[in-house]
A and B are shown apart, each in its own frame.
Chain A
């Protein structure tokens, strides 16, 4: 074998650096030679005997019609069972490599060379399902834990990647590489999906089967092609089967790129509403509804602090800038004990900052412009992400079907920053900040404004390979205000503002005492400071007497522990318990109602006053959490979960759309905490080697102490708000069918959900009842929901995508009678939510063309042409009864029911995306 040929072959391999070393090493070895014909002679023999490699190698060569190249001294004193030569070549070589700690590289289909380990991969053996095997298969079941170590290197040049990350979601293990690219961690033996990440590089997902200690080197490649893949939700191949968690959706940076666009903008929250069990507020509006829960029952965390208003412009776009987002973990049931606060769901959003070089990311959209900066500092020990958006959206408002909006203006911007400091592999610090600001004005004299401010500091420490911890201190502030400044009535100009200040501290430990347990435990403390409403004069000449609703103060303190236990490879479970103590604090005053009468203002018997920080009311909540997984076989599993969550903060709204005047209300002696108990059962099955995932989930959710409102309730600067609220309870149930195709030219998902969400009051007093205490549909009750979302690659550079969604119309209260009084027409409404709007359905499509896919092409562009509402379906957003005065009789048909549409015609958009 000519040496030059050997060199050329080696150079073309991905692990270039290693092979160059090999070349120099081989060039210096005079004994380097192919195996002689003589040595190939064999005779009938006992294949179980131990032989030298010089004996074994010719047998392998003969059996597989290959040639092996090696340095004999590397095999001195090594003995092999001769029978391994009868194994398939790949398995045979793996055993040889494992026993010799050498590497073996295929130069071509018939030539293999053994080399000293430079890129040490003891684990390139895969089982029949493509799982990477680590450790000796023969030892599987003997070991309880295994230590994995190795390097993560740049596939292009073999350089170690400092700060690359390995995540094992199943057991919540995360490891980072040191300056030399080395990582090391100990985990229970078993089967895992791992995610390898490094800024600017493609995420690499692998399934590993760990039977013992092993050294595994991984390679990561730089991102090369924009929108190359169309996998919608990316994770390990069978993660949906093997993880204990159910009812969850995980989006990462790559899949976020593939999300459907709304008016040319990717929108994480709107995209989530296309998933089973999640429903939107409509084509306009803030938030989303999860399994029959209201929008305020969703805990939206950005870097561990909650975002109170998740929308810009009241729902036209979400307040989370997708450019900076690294991952989104969305949970609908089986919510782990480390999460609490909100009853229905958790959306855990993480930002990214792990750049290799200074990079900019930006965009110009229909609503806003964006710019993101990511920069490594101090030899990548520090990384910084700074991003921001600002709007120019007035023109869009002017197109909306509302007279006031046509004369209105709206602006928003948001800023976010994430600073990561890695002191060493054991210690790191993350500083996070976010600010968003929205201004909205029907006219110059009546501007609305709201803003979100989030900040957190998180310190992470790795004690050892069994114990990790993080300490977070964070804050979130949401403020809104409106000004009414009638130029003719300057004496009555006023401003109403409300705010919520949320401060929290979280201490979390992850402890993995052995291979069967992954324990999370920690403490969580939250301070709420609410100003529900404050009326102040806005000019010096205003005669408005300042009026303020009583501020509210509360503490929510929780301790939690959960253990993710692997009983057997088939059975795993997560058992958790969360204990929450809630204290409603003074200063404040509390109404004492006549217990034998409706809770109306007329029946307030007394008002009790409390001093600052005096505990007015304690609530204690013990919240068990349970998730179980049983793997029926390698392709299917059964899961069950139960969670109980208490919620102590409520959004009070009596408008169809979340408005700036909505207020938050803490649980108090007269407002009991919302309690949610949810049971869920799911069957999960994959097909075609995990290319297709399917699931069926059923759930039942019981809600107690839901806040409802009386007809005509006033929520603005209302010191007796409690008299306008009613206590209700309810239940939600449903069945969700979901099928998703992950690979191939056609990817996407389809889901169908049948669900109900019912409420009722229980008071014995007619005034405190809704619909006479009979069950009625909640505003989130849309029984049938069907979504199909798909991407199809016509060629490598052309692909089309489409989303079709259908759901039953939302419940509404309609007039049943009408009558005249004093020259005006009034109506008598039906029981609450007795009727429904017409069903909703819409089709959106897009086609994308990538200009180039070449790796070395710096400028990469793509065109996307999309059409929203392809077949011009008129989906009523709301209906209203409009009774106008004679003065406007020409302009409106009086005394009629109207339906309003937000998007009634196709909206085509052409977008050019490029990167360099």
Chain B
């Protein structure tokens, strides 16, 4: 005799999961205060700025609310005990005089005395020789994301990769780098509702995006042999305006993706800070997220260790490069064209200009006089 027992036949199931995350506004009871130090000294010949501010209470205050710390005495001392004083230029900004010249191999310590009598100091941070990438390339790829309605979407784009440290002796310790990479989307679009037989409204503009959601640093590697890193990802450049969050009329044309690549060679203190920053930034709500990570920098309060000081006094060397990222979708290729590295405002553009119906590449004003694009447009 055969017994077939407990066979479960599921004949109906209705399961509805949707929108399973919500903004959470916890009640926070805290009188905690913290000084924020944001400072960077590089190997470049430019005035260096230290920004001092105070953290704002969570969750209601906006970080845009100015909590600048002014009136502080800020100095930097190198390992040869040469001390330079920053100038308070207001709004929490302190600038080193132009006479200050950093030097590769030298070490610098930041000293801050605030008006409440507290003294903050970093350790000596060493300026390391700059590293440059060996090669850079882009791969045609796709990337997935969730929209606010938990719809799963994807976009194509350029996966930008670099090779590093080929010239570094294989017996040396691998350098530590972080990459600040942004893309300026240069676009034009027209308003078809104003279309006439000869002209219509024309717009052009640009917007800059950081293409890394986390701090991009070299891996804590076990790669071998030697120090070479192949195909390190420095970010993904989406092709298509919707991926950048623009609400554009249909007739929008992306002209150029201008990629600016900043490679900082950092010391161990900075590396640990950015690694810690990633631990915090990586908490994006995934089920296997690490537990919360506190982020401390290299500043300490000398006279009162219980005082909280956050941020980083970073001393690192930098190399910069810029490219136009272009795609050949039909063959699935991404091409990088090297361009001059120029500073571009974060966002800008020209609107309500007239573009003749011949679709010339240059807009014109109401008198049909050509309005040139910015000098860096497609440089």
Contact surface of A with B, Cβ cutoff 8 Å: 200, 226, 264, 284, 314, 323, 357-366, 396, 399-407, 486, 488-489, 491-492, 535, 543-547, 654-657, 659, 661, 711-712, 717, 766, 813-830, 835, 874, 876, 878-893, 895-905, 907-916
Say yes or no: B245 contacts A910, CB within 8 Å: no
Does B118 interact with chain A (Cβ within 8 Å)?
Answer: no
B271-299 contacts to A, CB under 8 A, are 275-277, 279-281, 283-295
Say yes or no: B3 contacts A821, CB within 8 Å: no
Cβ contacts under 8 Å, A893 to chain B: 23, 148
Cβ contacts under 8 Å, A401 to chain B: 17, 19-21, 150
Say yes or no: B32 contacts A817, CB within 8 Å: yes
- Of the candidates B4, B16, B213, B285, which one forms a contact with A402 in the assembled complex, judged by CB atoms under 8 Å apart? B285
Does B59 interact with chain A (Cβ within 8 Å)?
Answer: yes
B263 to chain A, nearest CB (A): 15
C-alpha spacing A38/B28, complex, angstroms? 98
Interface mask (B73-105 → A, CB under 8 Å = 1, otherwise 0): 000000000000000000000000000000000
Say yes or no: A882 contacts B285, CB within 8 Å: yes
Please name the residue on chain B nearest to A711 by beta carbon: B294
Does B156 interact with chain A (Cβ within 8 Å)?
Answer: no
Instruction: Given A819-B55, A898-B285, answer yes or no on A488-B4 (Cβ-Cβ < 8 Å).
Output: no
- Of the candidates A544, A814, A904, A914, which one forms a contact with B7 in the assembled complex, judged by CB atoms under 8 Å apart? A914
- Of the candidates B4, B20, B276, B283, which one forms a contact with A361 in the assembled complex, judged by CB atoms under 8 Å apart? B4
Closest 3 CB pairs of A and B: A401-B20, A890-B245, A545-B224
C-alpha spacing A755/B26, complex, angstroms? 24
CB<8 Å pairs between A and B, sample of 21? A264-B10, A360-B3, A396-B15, A401-B21, A488-B159, A544-B223, A815-B58, A818-B56, A818-B63, A820-B63, A829-B293, A887-B243, A888-B245, A890-B246, A896-B24, A897-B25, A898-B24, A904-B20, A907-B16, A910-B13, A916-B4
Please name the residue on chain A nearest to B61 by beta carbon: A818
Cβ contacts under 8 Å, B20 to chain A: 400-401, 900-902, 904
Please name the residue on chain B nearest to A886 by beta carbon: B209
Instruction: Given A400-B17, A654-B290, A879-B24, answer yes or no on A826-B280 (Cβ-Cβ < 8 Å).
Output: yes
C-alpha spacing A91/B40, complex, angstroms? 99
C-alpha spacing A748/B154, complex, angstroms? 50
Say yes or no: A358 contacts B213, CB within 8 Å: no
Please name the residue on chain A nearest to B272 by beta carbon: A712
Say yes or no: A361 contacts B312, CB within 8 Å: no
Cβ contacts under 8 Å, A363 to chain B: 6-8
- Of the candidates A364, A816, A895, A911, which one forms a contact with B57 in the assembled complex, judged by CB atoms under 8 Å apart? A816
B46-63 contacts to A, CB under 8 A, are 53-59, 61, 63
Q: Which has the most chain A C-beta neighbours within 10 Å: B7, B10, B63?
A: B7
Task: Name A's interface SS.
Answer: mixed
C-alpha spacing A491/B8, complex, angstroms? 48
Does B311 interact with chain A (Cβ within 8 Å)?
Answer: yes
Say yes or no: B24 contacts A489, CB within 8 Å: no
Instruction: Given A314-B287, A900-B21, A913-B7, answer yes or no on A712-B161 (Cβ-Cβ < 8 Å).
Output: no
C-alpha spacing A821/B12, complex, angstroms? 52
Does B146 interact with chain A (Cβ within 8 Å)?
Answer: yes
Cβ contacts under 8 Å, B17 to chain A: 399-401, 903-905
Say yes or no: B26 contacts A814, CB within 8 Å: yes
C-alpha spacing A900/B15, complex, angstroms? 17
Cβ contacts under 8 Å, A821 to chain B: 36, 38, 277, 310-312
Please name the residue on chain A nearest to B147 by beta carbon: A891
B287-339 contacts to A, CB under 8 A, are 287-295, 305, 308, 310-312
Say yes or no: A826 contacts B310, CB within 8 Å: yes
C-alpha spacing A901/B25, complex, angstroms? 15
Q: A491-B230, A817-B56, A880-B283 are in contact. List 13 more A-B contacts (CB 8 A).
A: A284-B287, A403-B152, A489-B161, A656-B288, A712-B290, A820-B63, A826-B310, A827-B280, A889-B245, A890-B246, A897-B23, A915-B3, A915-B7
Say yes or no: B4 contacts A362, CB within 8 Å: yes
Say yes or no: B223 contacts A912, CB within 8 Å: no
C-alpha spacing A284/B294, complex, angstroms? 25
Say yes or no: B4 contacts A817, CB within 8 Å: no
Say yes or no: B8 contacts A887, CB within 8 Å: no
Does B367 interact with chain A (Cβ within 8 Å)?
Answer: no
Cβ contacts under 8 Å, B148 to chain A: 891-893
Please name the residue on chain A nearest to B138 by beta carbon: A488
Q: Which has the most chain A C-beta neighbours within 10 Å: B17, B21, B25?
A: B21
- Of the candidates B13, B146, B284, which one forms a contact with A366 in the assembled complex, judged by CB atoms under 8 Å apart? B13
A35 to chain B, nearest CB (A): 48
B110 to chain A, nearest CB (A): 15
C-alpha spacing A365/B283, complex, angstroms? 34
Instruction: Given A364-B7, A365-B8, A813-B291, answer yes or no on A403-B144 (Cβ-Cβ < 8 Å).
Output: yes
Instruction: Given A284-B287, A880-B283, A897-B26, answer yes or no on A543-B224 (Cβ-Cβ < 8 Å).
Output: yes
C-alpha spacing A908/B15, complex, angstroms? 7
Say yes or no: A899 contacts B22, CB within 8 Å: yes
B156 to chain A, nearest CB (A): 14
Please name the residue on chain B nearest to A892 by beta carbon: B148
Interface mask (B213-228 → A, CB under 8 Å = 1, otherwise 0): 1010001001111001
Say yes or no: A816 contacts B28, CB within 8 Å: yes
Cβ contacts under 8 Å, A907 to chain B: 14-16
